[in-house]
Structure 1
Amino acid sequence: MSGQERAPYGTWKSDINAETVAQSSKAILDVIVDPIKSTVYHVELRPAEKGRYVIVNTKTNDDVINSPWSARTAVHEYGGASAIVHDDTLYFSNFSDNRLYHKSLKSDSASEPEPVTPENPFHRFANFAVTPTHPHLLVSILEDHTEPGHAAPQDVVNTLCVINTASKTVTHLVSGADFYTSPCFSPNGRKLAWEQWNHPDMPWEGSQIWVADVSVEKDTIVLSNSTVVAGKDYSDRDAEDISVSYPTWASNEKLIFTSDKSGFQNPWVFSVKTKTAGAVFPKPVDEDFGAPAWSLSYKPYALLDQDGSTALFAAMRDGRNILYSVNLASASPKPPIELTGSPFTVVDMVHAVAPQVIVFSGKRADADGGVVLCTLTPAASSGGSVGEPTFEIISKAKEGGTSLSSEYISLPKPKALYSQGSNDPVYAVYYGPKNPRYSGSSIEGEKPPCIVNLHGGPTSATYQTLSWMTQYWTSRGYAWLDVNYGGSSGYGRKYIQRLAGRWGIVDVRDSIAAPRALADAPHSLIDGRRVAVRGGSAGGYTVLAAMSLNFDKTAHDPTAFTTGVSSYGISDFVELAQDTHKFELRYMEKLLGGTSEELYKSRSPVEEAKNIVKPLLILQGKDDKVVPPKQSQAIKQAIKDQTKVKLVEYEGEGHGWRQARTIVDALVEEQRWYEEWLLSPKP
């Protein structure tokens, strides 16, 4: 029956419905390995359970916490690293009360979770490290929202703390910096390493790795000889911006981390004996061996052997991950060895299970991914000739589309697109219309309408992975274009810095240029007269900016897009500077190029809302602390033609959709909007 029907693009009937997409949003949020028992667990988002975060035994597929427990933390608002398992004991942050709980996972135990931190709704915990010699002592991020009155984001205090799970007390360990992440102990427990940074930097802009000596005194941890071993020199105002991340002890004498000193995130090693740090590779590799840590769960590598001589890294190339075996022996630096045969386009949350065995969250472009067990042959992991790794999906990440024919799947086509007169590429991923029932349009010469999708961040990226939401649109005859505009990650620090001081300019220019290039020769893939732009968070801001701001009439045209959909997008930087969360409170200073009210107003879509003449759909969570609801309310009220704007707000949702009913409703609203305004554009 394939290809027997023809119908106008955008009107095709599809078996992929909104419920399919909601079910497929059951995502893997973290992978956890018990280092003593080698048992694998994962944290799973359940939209059908009102967005509950569930910890699952990956092998048995059994939930280890029942409703109403939800292993979610709001540290940095984006969360991540909400749980850890050590010797059959689970520790997790419970979202409803922010307390840390523990629970025995032994087969003969039927215990319920018990709190191990005092009752305090203003304390948030994440990123736990168990003390090797005293496992009842945990080091954790503590984010304190107590003063003043749980209101001002600049008064939130982030520290590293010690949680004594026996006495159920919390004591401060490290303070003074604005942010801390990634505490980790050396195998013998005598050293602690961590990452820290200060405003106005984000961790991928400037950060430091610290190491300190550890002793246990009076049943708590005491640090001495704390010293910075790599990263930005905050004592020097003119110091080079260097991002260092993801510290992991390879042995008692060797700490591994990544640094972008070369312009790309590459592996580095710090020697305890020589007290020096240096690059692992003899020459820098122009690929990022780590992405910006928006989530605390993200981890791009794991050790492959007990002596810490080799690691598996997931690096970024052409918008997807590739796997490398990396020799960590500092005495004989060697280039990385690429491992072949991986079907996974995104690899993260990488953890060691046993020698030559790792586990990670893997995503594919042609099928659903999940929690993946990877076993490497000695040849692949020894630094010699590359052997073939084997992969086994031990838990499916998504359920919604698994019963559908693979003939529905539109595969990604990465493209470097150029605007007229520019030599700077705009990286994008194109998905063409595809549906086994249809062979094309019934309208002669018709090209498909295009949906341009803009990721958040803005220092993030869209990768080449199977998304049933994308397939929802391509199976209906729409073209889909993911745009990794200037400022996106995965293409080196220089590409990220294209947005510095030019947010609302470069991202808008690139987002307009990409579909225009795709509509013109030599591509000629889409109908350039029917192009919608959509995005969430920072992507939502670019949607609003593209439809309102007009810095350059050649590159910036408020009428460039037929319609737009902004989900929890920024409209007013003056207001946002006062009430966004601490993590991104000063992010806009570098992105906009200053702090003046005049500058902030000049880049705020609400100030130029009179230019919004194309139809705009706005979607917003009522509990959003990152981009508060009044941002969406303000832009809606400021638009003159109220017949072409609609605001839909969702109870119980924050920054992004987690509940099935919201996912379904938002998708249905968006489809109705396109059917009204995109398929047959009105003047």
Structure 2
Amino acid sequence: MSPKAAPYGTWHSPITSDAIVENAINISSIFIDPITSSVYHIEARPGEAGRCVIVDTLNGKDIFGPGWNARSRVEEYGGGAAIAYGGVVYFSSLTDLRVYSVDVGSEKEAEPVAVTPENKNHRFADFAVIPTHPHLLIAILEDHTRPSPSEVETYLVLINTSKKAIFPVVSGADFYASPRFSPDGEHLVWQQWWHPNMPWQGAEIYLAEVTVSDDGEKVEFGERSLVGGVKGQVSAAYPLWITNETVLFTSDASGYQNPRSYSTLTGKSVPVFPIPVEMDFSLPGWLLGQSYSAVLDEKGERVLYSVMKNGRSALYVVGVSTGVFSEIKSQFVEISSVQSIPKTGEVFFIGGQSSAPSEIVSFTFQPSNASKPPPFKTLKSTSSSITSSFPSGIISVAESITIKVPPNDDPVHLNFYPPKNPEYLGGVDGEKPPCVFGVHGGPTGMSGQVLNWGRQYFTSRGWAWVEVNYGGSYGYGRLYIDRLQGQWGISEVRDCILAAQHLSTSLNLIDPSRIFIRGGSAGGYTVLAAISSPPPDTPSEFKWTGAASLYGISDLRRLADDTHKFESKYLEGLLGGSYEDVPEVYKERSPVSHVDKIDTPLLILQGSEDAVVPPSQAELIVQSLEERGKKVKYILFQGEGHGWRKAENIKAGLEAELSWYEDLIGVTQTEA
């Protein structure tokens, strides 16, 4: 059957909200037992109220029953919820926040057993096992005994799983991440940083000698040595032991996150590359427990990195002693949670493609064929069988576009997704499609080119979609990130407006009279700023047709008081100081201060249990708009936090957005 002509935005699509969520999962991390070589992953299941399940990857078997949820709330975003060692899996339980162990090596199915004391104020994450005494773990402890963000305390602690007891080990910094033992257990490294910096702005890595008594009852940590990083200036991250004496990490001293090597024998670190490489070999630490590198051989001579290159991930093999690196060609545009079994050269990672669902991927590295793409094997897909039945040619693949913004012609990177559906011809009588501009969160975030069914939900119905990687996004080096310092609420808003003008006027790709803006979290703030206080140089004829803010920020001063510890000082860099320093900036850049200027119809979606951007942020602006008789719709998802985890709410959110946009431009979908 030949495609039929129909107006953009009216196309019927098989990509329904039901199809998107049915049996779909989100894979957050992979981890490997270094003793047994067993591979595990954590998957969030929307159909099971969003609970996170640990799965034996190769056998496809859950390691615990339906009553368990392996998720950490350290820094609210979590991550680093589990580790495996010697046939035992340790994990953080969301239900009671305790750490549990599961003997996965036993012949009978074992129930999880608590290994930390009862304490609803303690949160644990990012575990490391002492190799010589596997009953002893190091972990991050976030203590909420005093619930105010300014009073929450973070430590590295020792967990004695035999005694169900914890002991403070390292304290003094505001935050910790990535505790990692050398293979022989004689050294521990970790990352630490202080307010007001985020980890990508100036984190340090330290090292200490470790001594454990023969009976495992006494653990001593020696004097600390600085491995890398400069407090508040240079970010060092993601330590990786490649031998007992050598640890790799990444540092942005050159302007890009490049690998460095530290020797415990010399006490010095050196760059792996003789000349800095303008690519990032790691990404900002929004989640704990992430991994962007893995050792490929037992001698630690080669290391595999997931590298950010031209807005997408790429695999590179790095010779540690030679500084020589080469790319392994792949179809994956987003690569995370890189893990390996050095003795076999097997590699595992989460790989996302531009036209296929994200999946757990494995391959075996062959040094003799390093220049050739290896045969990648899919172990687990994130989408249901329904999505695999969608017609060929329905997926819209991102087109990279870079624009220049004044006054310095700074680049802004865009991903443009044109309308795509093999059943329909584009437009009628020269019509251009309506378009949604997506603004990512963070704001030190990034929107990659990986397949996202939420975007395809729109493009398959005849909508264009644009993701704006405004100045301040990661993946393009430290200078690009720092463009947002002191300018949040101004420069990224200008980038979005200029992008909309460029695509609608200069490139004539979209309809200038049907442009929407939407975003979540920090992206939601940008949405509210864009419709309430656009920059003065915005052309008077430019208007957003409609907007959607998902758990966005409306009052910056209140956010500084109410948000969680991890981001409680984040605003100081983004706005040029604390509220006490620059109160006028906090007021001027708060969308709630400019409600009287909002004429754009606004949809607000919010989770009732959001501790990052509390519901009060949404309710403030909704109430103000309603009092003024402005067009606003508010949907509160009960039991949800910072984003939707439950299938019914993922569906409801998608449908609410589409309906909101359709009503504003007066289109309805055709019959199947």
TM-score (norm 2): 0.96
Q: 1:453 aligns with which of 435, 438, 463?
A: 438
Residue 68 of structure 2 aligns with an amino acid whose one-letter code is W
Pair 1:510–1:171, CA change in 2 (3 A):
same
Structure 1 gap ranges (5+)? 235-240
Cα deviation code 1:190-225 (max 9, x no counterpart): 000000000000000010000000011461422112
Pairing 1:640-651 to 2, within 5 Å after superposition: 641-651=628-638
Pair 1:39–1:556, CA change in 2 (3 A):
farther
Distance in 1 between the 2:82 and 2:541 partners? 45
Equivalent in the alignment of 1:362: 351
Q: 2:381 aligns with which of 383, 396, 399?
A: 396
Q: 1:664 aligns with which of 651, 663, 666?
A: 651
Equivalent in the alignment of 2:224: 226
Aligned-pair distance for 1:43? Answer: 0.3
Residue 548 of structure 2 aligns with an amino acid whose one-letter code is V
Aligned-pair distance for 1:558? Answer: 10
Aligned-pair distance for 1:678? Answer: 3.6
Equivalent in the alignment of 1:28: 27
Contact 1:376 1:390 in 2 (8 A): no
Q: 2:189 aligns with which of 182, 188, 193?
A: 193
Contact 2:255 2:478 in 1 (8 A): yes
Q: 1:532 aligns with which of 500, 503, 516?
A: 516
Contact 2:393 2:422 in 1 (8 A): yes
Distance in 2 between the 1:679 and 1:375 partners? 53
Contact 2:178 2:289 in 1 (8 A): no
Residue 428 of structure 1 aligns with an amino acid whose one-letter code is L
Pair 1:431–1:312, CA change in 2 (3 A):
same
Contact 2:124 2:142 in 1 (8 A): yes
Aligned-pair distance for 1:514? Answer: 0.9
What is the percentage of aligned positions where both structures have the same residue? 45
Structure 2 gap ranges (5+)? none
Give SS of 1:9's match: coil
Give SS of 1:55's match: strand
Equivalent in the alignment of 1:373: 362
Distance in 2 between the 1:679 and 1:492 partners? 42
Q: Which range moved further: 221-230 or 565-574?
A: 221-230
Cα deviation code 1:496-525 (max 9, x no counterpart): 01100000011100011112111123x211
Cα deviation code 1:263-310 (max 9, x no counterpart): 000011101111111110010000111111111132111010111111
Q: 1:346 aligns with which of 334, 356, 365?
A: 334
Aligned-pair distance for 1:561? Answer: 1.2
Distance in 1 between the 2:43 and 2:106 partners? 21
Distance in 1 between the 2:289 and 2:44 partners? 14
CA RMSD in angstroms, aligned pairs only: 1.6
Equivalent in the alignment of 2:144: 145
Aligned-pair distance for 1:23? Answer: 3.4
Contact 1:9 1:476 in 2 (8 A): yes
Pairing 1:38-117 to 2, within 5 Å after superposition: 38-106=37-105, 108-117=107-116
Distance in 1 between the 2:116 and 2:44 partners? 24
Distance in 2 between the 1:17 and 1:641 partners? 36
Structure 1 residue 466 corresponds to structure 2 residue 451: yes
Pairing 1:258-657 to 2, within 5 Å after superposition: 258-329=250-321, 333-340=322-329, 342-354=330-342, 355-380=344-369, 386-399=371-384, 401-419=387-405, 423-441=409-427, 443-521=428-506, 523-550=507-534, 552-555=535-538, 560-595=543-578, 596-639=582-625, 641-657=628-644
Residue 294 of structure 2 aligns with an amino acid whose one-letter code is A
Equivalent in the alignment of 1:211: 207
Q: Which range moved further: 248-257 or 14-23?
A: 14-23
Aligned-pair distance for 1:228? Answer: 1.3
Give SS of 1:75's match: coil
Q: 1:254 aligns with which of 230, 235, 246?
A: 246
Aligned pair count? 660
Cα deviation code 1:439-472 (max 9, x no counterpart): 122x301000000001100101011101111110
Give SS of 2:387's match: coil
Contact 1:502 1:591 in 2 (8 A): yes
Runs of 4+ with >6 A deviation = none
Aligned-pair distance for 1:641? Answer: 4.2
Q: Which range moved further: 297-306 or 449-458?
A: 297-306
Distance in 1 between the 2:404 and 2:589 partners? 24
Aligned-pair distance for 1:133? Answer: 0.2
Distance in 2 between the 1:288 and 1:557 partners? 39
Residue 258 of structure 2 aligns with an amino acid whose one-letter code is N
Distance in 2 between the 1:77 and 1:58 partners? 26
Residue 543 of structure 1 aligns with an amino acid whose one-letter code is V
Pairing 1:120-131 to 2, within 5 Å after superposition: 120-131=119-130
Cα deviation code 1:349-386 (max 9, x no counterpart): 001124321101110011112111022221355xxxx2
Contact 2:193 2:231 in 1 (8 A): no
Distance in 1 between the 2:583 and 2:220 partners? 45
